[in-house]
A and B are shown apart, each in its own frame.
Chain A
Amino acid sequence: MEKQMRASTRIEQGTTVVDVVGQIDLGNSPALRKTLLESLKGTDRLAINLIAVQYIDSSGIASLLEVLKEARQSKKRLVLFGLTGAVGQVLQLTRLTGVFEIRENEEQALAA
């Protein structure tokens, strides 16, 4: 299991996709937030790929929420896709599944 967190950015069909890998916790969520906010600045559509995220804590969720707020304020689109069981569980427990736009896979996220 990947214990560190890595995030890389690519562009697919006009959407900026950020691929996040590893475990998101208090130690690395500030870096993730910075990467996501910087990625959002350069696009109108941001999709965050969480398929390789095995763990996320409340600080990681707070980072995603901050990016969502920024996207809404700047009238941009934010989509999450590829949620694993662990990530889905935390979103459910924090009652945020209905707050984010969530798609099952990249194809659906790009078509959204």
Chain B
Amino acid sequence: MSSDPRFLSIVRATVGQIGMVYGLTEDSCQGVTLAIDEAVANVIRHAYRNRHDREVELNCQADTDHLEFTLFDSGEPADPARICAQPLDEASLSGRGTHLIKATMDEVHYEKVPTGNQLRLIKHLPAAKVSVDGGSSAR
């Protein structure tokens, strides 16, 4: 998709539906949706500095016990020193996105890859609640 905020509502709808299909509770579903939305928004704002004509790739891989969302971009890499660096108090007007991602996902991995930046977000699934049969890839 383009790095345009108009695609965020599509991302949220898709992620929310994937979460429901794989048996996440409503709260968990909302949390995962929030995390992915914040991650894409961070790419738009920071990696691409609000340019809306770049490319963002989002994949979802479902395994027996977890969902893994992978986000690729070719913008500026995330600065590890700035991730969750802002305290969660009322004085900070920004910087809450990474806190929300960390609070709602089970694993968060920022990685540099040859083609750009990769963010892997993992959510563990409730045991034996996957409500679909057959292949588990949602890629």
Contacts and interface: CB of A to CB of B under 8 A. Distances in A.
Interface of A: 1, 3, 23, 25-28, 55, 57-59, 61-62, 65-66, 68, 85-86, 89-90, 93-96, 99
B12 A94 contact: no
Given A93-B103, A94-B96, A99-B90, 11 more contacts: A25-B9, A25-B41, A26-B41, A57-B97, A58-B94, A58-B96, A61-B96, A65-B90, A86-B30, A89-B31, A90-B34
A49 B30 CA distance: 21
Interface of B: 4-6, 8-9, 12-13, 26-27, 30-31, 33-34, 37-38, 41, 44-45, 88-90, 93-94, 96-97, 99-100, 103-104
A58 B100 contact: yes
Of A66, A85, A93, A96, the most chain B CB neighbours within 10 A belong to: A93
B93 A90 contact: no
A96 B30 CA distance: 18
Given A57-B38, A58-B96, A93-B99, A23 B9 contact: yes
Contacts of B93: 62, 65-66
Q: Which of A57, A58, A66, A89 has the most CB of B within 10 A?
A: A58
Contacts of A95: 88-89
A68 B6 CA distance: 27
Contacts of B27: 89
A96 B90 CA distance: 7
